[in-house]
Chains A and B, each alone.
Chain A
Amino acid sequence: MTSAAEAPPTTWHAILRQALKDNDVRLVTYVPDNVLRPLIDGCHADPFFTTFPCAREEEAVGIVTGASMAGMRGIVMMQTSGFATLPNALASLPVAFQVPVLMVVSERGTMGEFNPGQAIVCRTMRPILDSMGIEHHTMTRLDEAAFMADRTIRQAFATRWPACLIISPLLSGARK
C-alpha cells in the first residue's frame, strides 16, 4: 500500500463513507439530493456498498430494517423534507422493534434558505427525532466529522436504536 492510500479522507463525504465501511454498513438506500450527491456517487462507485435509489423515504426505512434484521447493516440518505415524511414509519418500525436504522439527512431550510416551505419543514426535524429518542448529531466541522460519524454509527449498533447524522450547510457548503 502506498502512503496515499493510507491517508485519511479529507472531505466530509469521504469521511462519512469511510465511517460506514469501518462499521460494516454495506447497504445504502437513498432518495436523491443535490448536497448528498458526492456521498451517493462515492457509494455507487465503491463495490463494498450495495447502493440504490428508492421512490420514497419510508420504503428505504423498510428495506434497511428488513436487511438489518437479516444481518446486513444499512443506511437511509435523504434531505430534510424527505425526513419529514417519516415519523410513522420510524415510530412503528425501527423504533418499536429496536432495529438500528442509520440515517443521513442533508439539512435544507436554514442559513440562507430561499424556499419558505423548506424553512418551515426544517424546524420539524429535530423535534421529531427528539420525540422518539433518536440520537442525532449535526455535523458542522470537518475536524470533528470522522469522530462524530464513527461514534454515532457505533453507538446505534451497540444500543440497537436508530440514529441520524445531519449534514449542516456549514460542512457541506450546500446550495449557493
Chain B
Amino acid sequence: MTDTTDNLHVMNRAALTKRLVGKLANREAVIGGIGNSNWDLWGADKARGENFYMLGSMGLAAPIAFGVAIAQPARRVFALEGDGSLLMQLGCLSTIAAQKPKNLAIILWDNGIYQITGGQGTPAASARTDMVAIARASGIASAAWAADEAEFDALVAKALTTDGPHLIGVKIDNEPGRNQTDRDPIRFRESFSRAMAQPV
C-alpha cells in the first residue's frame, strides 16, 4: 500500500462514505466523528441503525469505536474521523495500539483544514505532518494511505477480513458535508444500542 503522501489522489468524503457503507454486510458498527464525517455518514444511509452520530466531543470517534470493539469482539467497528479531530486526540492511537483490538478500523478523512469553522488550515497541514506515519509510529502497524478509490476498496476489504487495528488515510477535497444529521442524541443512542443488541 501507499507509504508517502506525494502521489495521493484527492477523493471525496461523501462518495467514499457511501462506498464504505455499501460494503458492510455484517451489521458492522460505524462511528461518525463531529461535523462533516457525521453528516456524510447520515447522507450515506440514515436508516442504518449501526451508525452512531457523535455530537460535540471532538476527537472521540476513535475512542468510542474502540469501546464498541471491546464490548463486541465479533463485530467489526469503523471510526470515521477528520484530521483536525484526530490531531486533538493523538494519544488514543497509542491506547488503541497497546490493546490491539482486532476488529477496529479507523478511517481518517484528511483535507488539512477545519472545514466546518471556516476552512482554516490545521497546524499539521502547515507542518506537512503525515498522520498515517504518526499512526504507524504509535504502534498501529496496519496503517496506510489510500492512493485512489481502488486502493481504498482494497484497504476496506483488508479491514473487513484481517486482524486489526487498521487505519486508512484518505486525502479528501474541501466539499462540505451534503446533509446534516438530526440533532437527537437520545434517539441516536437508542437506535444504535438496539442495533448493537442484534447478533453479527
Chain B nearest CB, measured from A56 CB (Å): 5
Q: State the main secondary structure of chain B at its contact with A.
A: helix
Stretch at the interface among B9-17, B153-161, B187-195: B187-195
Could you say which interface size class chain B belongs to? Answer: 35 or more
B196 contacts across to A, CB distance below 8 A: 69-71
Question: A43 vs B95: C-alpha distance in the bound complex, in angstroms?
Answer: 18
Among B56, B61, B75, B192, the residue within 8 A (CB) of A88 is B56
B54 contacts across to A, CB distance below 8 A: 92-93
Question: A74 vs B67: C-alpha distance in the bound complex, in angstroms?
Answer: 9
Q: Is residue B197 within 8 Å, beta carbon to beta carbon, of the partner chain?
A: yes
Q: Is residue A138 within 8 Å, beta carbon to beta carbon, of the partner chain?
A: no
Please tell me the number of chain A residues within 8 Å of chain B, measured between CB atoms: 32
B66 contacts across to A, CB distance below 8 A: 62-63, 66
Q: Is residue B119 within 8 Å, beta carbon to beta carbon, of the partner chain?
A: no
Given contacts A52-B98, A92-B55, contact A59 B63 (CB under 8 A): yes
Among B55, B91, B92, B192, the residue within 8 A (CB) of A93 is B55
Whether A98 pairs with B186 at a CB distance below 8 angstroms is: yes
B98 contacts across to A, CB distance below 8 A: 52
Interface bits A7-42 vs B (CB < 8 Å: 1, else 0): 000000000000000000001000000000000000
Whether A50 pairs with B70 at a CB distance below 8 angstroms is: yes
Q: Which residues of A come within 8 Å of B, CB atoms?
A: 27, 50, 52-56, 58-72, 74, 88-89, 91-93, 96-99
Nearest 5 Cβ contacts at the A-B interface: A66-B67, A55-B91, A62-B63, A92-B56, A72-B71
| Interface contacts beyond A65-B60, A98-B185: sample of 16 additional A-B pairs, CB < 8 Å, sorted by A | A52-B98, A54-B95, A59-B91, A60-B63, A61-B63, A62-B62, A62-B63, A63-B66, A63-B95, A66-B70, A70-B68, A74-B67, A88-B58, A93-B56, A96-B185, A98-B186
Q: List 7 A-B contacts (CB under 8 A).
A: A56-B91, A61-B60, A62-B64, A63-B64, A65-B67, A66-B68, A93-B57
